[in-house]
Amino acid sequence: MSDSDSPAILSYHNTLLLRSDLDLLSAGEWLNDRLIGFAFEYLEFQVLPSASSACSGQASPDLASRILLVGPDVAFLLANMDPDQAAGILASLDAPSRELVLLPVNNNRNVEAAGGSHWSLLVVDCSSQRLFHIDSAEGSNMSSAKSLARILRSVLGISAKVPVRAMPCPQQHNCTPFDRCVFVLLNAASKFC
């Protein structure tokens, strides 16, 4: 079933999930941009507001204002535009005022076609001016993360001399694309505590 023939099953903030997206949740299927985008929005609107009280025992209503989760569609757009254009998008997301910015990174470099075979996570720690790459496949997506980081550095005021550091994370050894997408989501969620 093509996306144009697939009925909508859920509208959640900026995400519209189709029946064809739900079908991808079967074992062994790839998660697409819409599913990852939905998961990021769920983290932003459901998990993040309550994460601080769960971690510290006290409410911190401003935690959500300190962390920005950028969806995969916007992250891909940012990775493929010049810094001046990216500045406008990041300003509209209020990224320069955030402590942490989390972006899913895909290794697709073709702006003309859907694709890519791996997802990882780029974490920009604006408060300490550091960049971290979290990759469950031993850094195989580092070049894509560095490409996105080049755009973000100038907009977020991080020196070009600051390296993108590989952050230790659980590595997967089963090499299924489905699990790699899930690792991105788990790594993103783990940054709240």
The CATH code of the domain that includes 186 is: 3.40.395.10
pLDDT digits (tens, 9 = 90+) for 36-74: 999 999 999 988 887 756 555 555 557 788 999 999 999
129 close to 150: Cβ distance less than 8 angstroms = no
Lowest mean pLDDT among 24-33, 44-53, 67-76, 181-190: 181-190
Specify the pLDDT at position 52. Answer: 59
Lowest mean pLDDT among 35-44, 127-136, 176-185: 176-185
The dihedrals phi and psi of 45, each to the nearest 5 degrees, come to -95, -20
How long, in residues, is the chain?
Answer: 193
What is the number of domains present in the chain? 1
Supply 161's token pair: 């001399």
User: What is the Cα Rg of the chain in Å?
Assistant: 16
Q: Which domain holds residue 81?
A: 3-190
- Angle, helices 33-42 vs 72-79, to 10°: value is 110
